[in-house]
């Protein structure tokens, strides 16, 4: 796994050595060492990227991400460029950076790059993916970094790492799963096969509901696939009834609540504006966990 450490004299010395090195081989090894580490950097030492193409961010989505970060931590580190000394500039992850500030964090996990190290970064990340001790989330993050920071398409990345495009897509899709499911993948509580099946579901609340059943019953991948099929077959008879779908904005709120509370949340809303919100729990422990999250939301 990637190392995570506080920014200190050792890293500053490493950055200095990279800048001063005239030996290409030595510089390559130093950059590889730097790119294999996740470091905790003070938020007030990071400046925004003036070339960031995205300038508007949904306020409610940022608040929801901030709440998730408070509960689950930041799973995917941002990437910054060292500007010299202890100053850094954001390269990717502005949404995560803004949400971390809202969450009240003082430091944030980050990958550090130096100026003009594009080719070395690509080489270091590709070499890192070949390691046998990486979990699926670490591989997914590496693929994502290669595509975003090195501007690679799925096809070009496929050629560089010797993997099928579908394999890369399956890994990257894991980063769209709710934080608690990503954590379970990261800590080997569920396998890549489980994760791939869960990622195929569209509703966040259904993902979470089935995910908890996998943990509670220790279901195999095959059993999980059969469970998902049973949900699909149960849903077919009610399709002709044309149940009125929730408006997109309400459906989004429902999914966000499911993600934040870590359980199935259903919203029923009438045309006049009345309705109800139901929160599902299966045990006293789940009930208490939900109350704990709601208490934090009040804070």
- Taking each helix axis from N to C terminus, what angle separates 59-72 and 94-102, rounded to the nearest 10 degrees? 70
**C-beta of residue 37 within 8 angstroms of C-beta of residue 2:** yes
Question: Measured between alpha carbons, how far is 72 from 163 in angstroms, rounded to an integer?
Answer: 31
Look up residue 132 and give its two tokens.
């046998």
Look up residue 56 and give its two tokens.
């508007």
Question: Measured between alpha carbons, how far is 299 from 294 in angstroms, rounded to an integer?
Answer: 9
Q: Is 94 a catalytic residue?
A: yes
Q: Is 130 exposed, middle or buried, given 0-12, 13-18 or 19+ CB atoms closer than 10 A?
A: exposed
CA proximity to 181, closest of 200, 210, 208, 144: 208
Catalytic pick from 94, 189, 213, 286? 94
Residues identified as active-site: 94
């Amino acid at each position: 796994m990637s190392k995570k450490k506080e920014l200190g004299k050792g890293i500053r010395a490493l950055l200095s050595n990279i800048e001063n090195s005239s030996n290409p081989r030595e510089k390559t090894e130093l950059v590889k060492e730097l790119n294999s580490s996740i470091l905790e950097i003070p938020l007030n030492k990071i400046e925004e990227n003036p070339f960031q193409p995205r300038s508007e961010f949904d306020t409610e989505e940022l608040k929801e991400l901030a709440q998730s970060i408070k509960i689950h931590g930041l799973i995917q580190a941002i990437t910054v460029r060292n500007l010299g000394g202890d100053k850094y500039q954001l390269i990717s992850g502005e949404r995560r950076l803004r949400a971390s500030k809202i969450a009240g964090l003082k430091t944030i996990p980050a990958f550090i790059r130096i100026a003009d190290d594009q080719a070395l970064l690509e080489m270091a990340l590709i070499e890192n993916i070949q390691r046998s001790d990486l979990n699926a989330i670490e591989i997914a993050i590496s693929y994502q970094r290669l595509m975003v920071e090195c501007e690679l398409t799925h096809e070009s990345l496929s050629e560089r790492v010797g993997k099928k495009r579908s394999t890369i897509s399956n890994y990257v899709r894991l980063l769209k799963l709710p934080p608690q499911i990503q954590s379970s993948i990261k800590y080997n509580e569920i396998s890549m096969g489980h994760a791939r099946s869960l990622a195929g579901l569209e509703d966040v609340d259904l993902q979470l509901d089935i995910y908890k059943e996998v943990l509670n019953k220790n279901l195999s991948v095959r059993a999980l696939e059969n469970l998902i099929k049973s949900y699909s077959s149960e849903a077919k008879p009610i399709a002709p009834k044309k149940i009125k779908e929730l408006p997109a904005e309400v459906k989004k709120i429902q999914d966000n609540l499911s993600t934040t509370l870590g359980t199935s949340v259903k919203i029923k809303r009438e045309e006049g504006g009345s309705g109800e919100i139901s929160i599902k729990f299966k045990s006293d422990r789940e009930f208490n966990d939900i109350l704990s999250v709601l208490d934090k939301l009040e804070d």
